Amino acid sequence: MDIPAITPPDAEFHRAAVARHAELAVPLGGLGRLAELGCWLAAAQGACPPLPPGRPRVVVVAADHGIAAAGVSRDAASATLDQVRSVREHTAPVSVLAPVSGASIRVLDVGLDHDSSDPHHVRRGSGRIDREDALTAEEAEQAFAAGRAVVDEEVDGGADLLIPASLGVGATTSASTLVSALSGTEPVAVIGRGSGIDDQSWMRKAAAVRDALRRAKPHVRDPLALLRTAGGADLAALTGILVQAAVRRTPVLVDGLVVGAAAMVADELAPGARAWWLAAQRSPEPAMALALSHLSLDPVLDLGLRTGDGTGAVAVLPLLQMAARVLAETATLVDLA
């Protein structure tokens, strides 16, 4: 697996953006986090002032999970296909909000349990991680490579910001297992309500994570083996997306527990990649709080969203566009002199 060394965002342009903010005709520090977002974008683009993201792209990675059969979700194991259909028919929350933010959406089917026409499809569903591996070693590598290939396709096609997202019943169970393994946290401390589960389902989910973690722990120093054992095709593909976006110097909005777990794995594979990621919003899922703390990412908003389909990220996207414009267009003290 050939991953080039990650080049950090351009510190010179970050400094230039900070200096420009100091010249604006506003109280010193008056723009708060909005100024920080503009400086982050300037460093990522290597330009000051930065341009508002003009071609943001949401990549919704879809896969089924064998662990759904353990009753860890409020949704039936077969519901993922319906969720994907809703995204494609523009009735899912992310599909409704994306046009407002100027984003377009691509669905990447790497592991849905059906006959797929997606060239990046790896397998029909994943193994039940409390009893067996999610993937074979070859499938884990294939899914990781698929994520990287999709980034190349999107960036070469003009995307200037990426929003990886997730759809898959049972995916948060796999994600919670990865977060538990990489953070050294006990299973009961990472389990949230996910799809809106009741107490009985919560206990089943905690037991599933406990058993999956027992299988995953020997592989905690081997990211691809960890994805093979306790992840899934979607988590491996999302890891590939996050790694390759940093390789291609493309900013990413991180949103949702499944993407957060993949980010922890990607950070192990490609040190420095996290500098290209911005946490969109704080999730009520305890595992996501652990992931963001582990990655030292400070969320822009706290919307209380548990959806993993990118809804929170597209809600944050207009703030990035505003941050770029306020840096470029606000009058300076010299202009007003």
pLDDT in tens, 142-194: 999 999 999 999 999 999 999 999 999 999 999 999 999 999 999 999 998 87
Q: Is pTM, for the whole model, over 0.85? A: yes
pLDDT of residue 78: 87
Q: What percentage of the chain exceeds 70 in pLDDT?
A: 100
Residues 16 and 151 in one domain: no
Domain assignment present for 4:
no
Mean pLDDT within 208-213: 96
Mean model confidence pLDDT for the chain:
95
Are 72 and 170 in contact by the 8 Å Cβ rule? The answer is: yes
State whether 95 and 195 are in the same domain: yes
Residue 227 is assigned to a structural domain of this protein: yes
Q: Answer whether residue 1 is part of any domain.
A: no
Residues 37 and 78 in one domain: no
Query: Are the beta carbons of 278 and 300 closer than 8 angstroms?
Result: yes
Which pLDDT band, with edges at 50, 70 and 90, does 88 fall under? very high
Are 260 and 137 members of one domain? yes
In degrees and rounded to multiples of 5, residue 162 shows phi and psi of -115, 145
Sheet strand arrangement including 161-167: 104-111, 56-63, 161-167, 252-254, 277-279
How many other CB atoms are found less than 10 A from the CB of residue 19? Answer: 11
Provide the domain limits for residue 197.
56-316
Q: Establish if 205 belongs to a structural domain.
A: yes
Residues 118-138 pLDDT 10s: 999 999 999 999 999 999 999
Judge if 111 and 47 occupy the same domain: no
Domain shared by 96 and 199, yes or no: yes
Q: Give the pLDDT band of residue 24 (cuts 50, 70, 90).
A: very high
Q: Which residue has the tokens 């309500």?
A: 193
Task: Name 274's Cβ contacts closer than 8 Å, sequence gap at least 6.
Answer: 263, 267, 295, 296, 297
Give the pLDDT of residue 192. 83
- Closest by CA position to 257, among listed 38, 73, 6, 8: 73
Provide the CATH number for the domain around residue 328.
Answer: 1.10.1610.10
Q: Residues 251-264: what's their mean pLDDT? A: 97
Q: What's the domain count of the chain?
A: 2
Whether residues 25 and 170 fall in one domain: no
Residues 23 and 166 in one domain: no
Residues 76 and 19 in one domain: no
Taking the alpha carbons of 75, 79, 84, 87 in that order, is the dihedral positive or negative?
A: negative
Residue 6 inside a domain? The answer is no
Task: For residue 23, list its beta bridge partners.
Answer: none
Domain membership flag for residue 255: yes
pLDDT reported for residue 138 = 98
